[in-house]
Amino acid sequence: MVLGVAALLGFLTWGLVTSGDSGIGPGDPVPTATLPTLPPGSEASLEDFRGEWVLLNVWASWCVPCRDESPALEQFEKNNRGSISVLGVDTRDLSGDAMKFLEEYDINYAQIRDASGDYADDLKTTGVPESFLIDPDGNLVAHYSGPFRTEAEIEKFAAPALAAESKEEPAG
């Protein structure tokens, strides 16, 4: 019995390790999809942000770690507006619950709604929250699984975008 449990744990561990191999890697183009916006009434896509650095954050209202990271993401977006765009992707969620979440946490950056989870699957997410740093050409620079705890963690993750933006600013 012990050998059976050990073998099962080994297969599960192997599955988790190898499932990450099929994810999007640095330099790969990040999939795009045109999805409804939050609040409802329009549609948007990652493609709309071509030419800009983007921090794409996949979240859901039922996700406790997503709630924990929300204030830091909102503050990061406010402090870095113009240098990097933050785009939220609400996935596998009800639009009413998502809207309550956005209101409760006073989230004001752009949001798209992935009700089916198909876009999250295209991104090869393994859960929520997950974040992707995307360069102006639409390619992945960095991926972060799990919640950001502080704005400093987000700044460290987004450092390539913030450094690129500071190089483009004229001196003086």
pLDDT at 150 over 80: yes
- Residue 152 pLDDT class (50, 70, 90 cuts): very high
Q: Please give the Cα distance from 98 to 54 (Å, whole number).
A: 21
- What is the residue whose two structure tokens read 């798209």? 112
- Check residue 166 and give its pLDDT: 73
Q: What percent of the chain has pLDDT above 90?
A: 81
Segment 79-127, tens digit of pLDDT:
999 999 999 999 999 999 999 999 999 999 999 999 999 999 999 999 9
Domains identified in the chain and CATH numbers = 35-167 (3.40.30.10)
* 3-state DSSP assignment of residue 14: helix
Please work out, in degrees rounded to the nearest 5, the angle formed at the alpha carbon of residue 131 by the alpha carbons of 74 and 31.
Answer: 120
DSSP 100-131: HHHHHTT--SEEEEETTSHHHHHTT--SSSEE
Q: Please give the Cα distance from 149 to 14 (Å, whole number).
A: 29
Mean pLDDT, residues 45-65 taken together: 98
